[in-house]
Amino acid sequence: MTESQSESLSGSQSEPLLSTTKAMTPPEIPIEIVSEEEMALIEAAIAATRSSAIHATLSPSSSLFQRNVRSIKSITLLSKRGLSDSNEQPDFEDAGHLGMTQMRSRVAQSFLNRFRRKRGLSVTDITATEWCEKQMESVLLVGKRRVNRAMRTGVARHAKLEAEVVQKVKVRVKSREDVWATKFMNFINGSNQLLFEGLTRELPIIGFVEGVWMVGVIDEIRMPVNETDRSPLLVDTKTRVRDTLPAEPQRRNGSRLQLMCYKYLWDHLIVDNFPSSRFFDFFSLNRYQILTEEIIESTASAGYPAKTLDDIVRCYRNSCSMLPLAHNQLLLRYELQKDSSLLGEDEFTYDFDWTKSQIHSCLEFWLGEREASYAPEEERWKCRFCQFASVCPADPNSATKSTPPKANVDSTLS
């Protein structure tokens, strides 16, 4: 399931849940809050140490936290959601069918500014744009993608996989600073779980790449058993309605590109300095605001006491500096929805140049540097699965004439 799909499925927020650790308590390893100057030195190092992590969903009044089931005290994200509580997209049914000419007239500024200014651009925004820019344009201007049963099943499967590693905990939040604090705590705890246990799931990642803020949630990260190779392996699990592997365009788009974007973001975050001041300014956050007592207590029990969002961000940067670059091999897993059986795996090599090119191409659209393009002629069969086909000026006959791949596109979900 993608971050955007998860967000559309989440609906109303439930009351906060608190979880407990099921395994023995790990040794307390304090995380020192250091100065900006000291951080510059730390960021050059790659080591393996730290102790705890935190994940949470965002909500105007509460955040959902989780703790590692097996050994590390942690707080974890309930689901893949956006990184703010804003809901800026109109409902498709309420908006009705707008003509493309009318839609274009509403694009007074870049889509990034209009729709992702307070959230950051998600990795699934990139993959959805690569699939079809015109469809992405319609989603932004008209409404969200319809949610079907297959999507809900995919959500449930990912929740089950996550529950194998973490338990959910609810913690109240009172401000956007609290919400963002839980996101960074998410990463800190998840990365430490990876270092101590060799596995973490649903890891949120936040970074500044190619001049924009980009966010994502990585399905699974594994630390290799081989002591000589400590590069984390990024894994993505897709669920399928049909017992067939997806078509090549799907593997390229929602699968391979998605994982490559995660590695691109991960490596950039590990090597580059996280621009803290730019982050606070862009999202209009008070870096020195005191966090809620629950969050303060959670960070203290996790081993890195913090009182402000600035403290949490420093710990986040510190954790990033302790991690190695991701492995150049990436892994896709395909499961059958009805019984979670493995249909197959796709292991492929990271292509830095291609990934950067795809990101740049998508950013041209998001930054308003050019108009949205249609799916290429040989892929116009995609139009048959698009809810906006009736209002799209693309040649309707091309969708009828083009032949879709044998493995149809209606069943792959992350």
Structure tokens at 50: 């730290």
> Residue 223: its pLDDT value, please?
93
Characterise 303 by phi-psi region: left (phi > 0), alpha (psi -120 to 50), beta (else).
left
As beta bridge partners, residue 342 has 335
pLDDT value, residue 269? 94
User: How many domains does the chain divide into?
Assistant: 1
Q: What is the DSSP string of 253-295?
A: IIIIIHHHHHHHHHHHHHHSPP-HHHHHHHTT--TTPBPPHHH
Short-list 240, 158, 232, CA closest to 202 = 158
Q: Alpha carbon of 90 to those of 95, 134, 228, 411: distances in Å?
A: 7, 17, 51, 26
- Range(s) of the domain holding residue 211: 3-413
Give the containing element (helix H, strand E) for 223: none
Q: Is the pTM here over 0.95, yes or no?
A: no
Longest dimension (CA), the chain: 65
Half-sphere exposure of 405 (CA within 13 A, CB side): 15
In angstroms, rounded to a whole number, what is the distance separating the alpha carbons of residues 330 and 236? 9
- 3-class SS of residue 252: helix
Residue whose structure tokens are 């270092």: 195
pLDDT tens track, the chain, 414 positions:
555 444 444 333 333 332 223 343 443 333 333 333 333 333 333 233 333 333 333 333 444 444 444 333 333 332 233 333 334 444 333 344 445 554 454 444 899 999 998 889 999 999 999 989 999 999 999 876 666 666 666 667 766 767 677 666 778 899 999 999 999 998 999 999 999 999 999 999 999 999 999 999 999 999 987 777 889 999 999 888 888 887 776 676 557 899 999 999 999 999 987 999 999 999 999 999 999 999 999 999 999 999 999 999 999 999 999 999 999 999 999 999 888 899 989 999 999 999 999 999 999 999 999 999 998 888 888 888 888 888 887 765 655 556 666 544 444 445
Task: Give the C-alpha distances (Å, rounded to integers) separating 211 from 38, 120, 214, 275, 284.
Answer: 25, 11, 9, 11, 17
- Among 269, 256, 234, residue whose Cα is nearest residue 127: 256
Length of the chain: 414
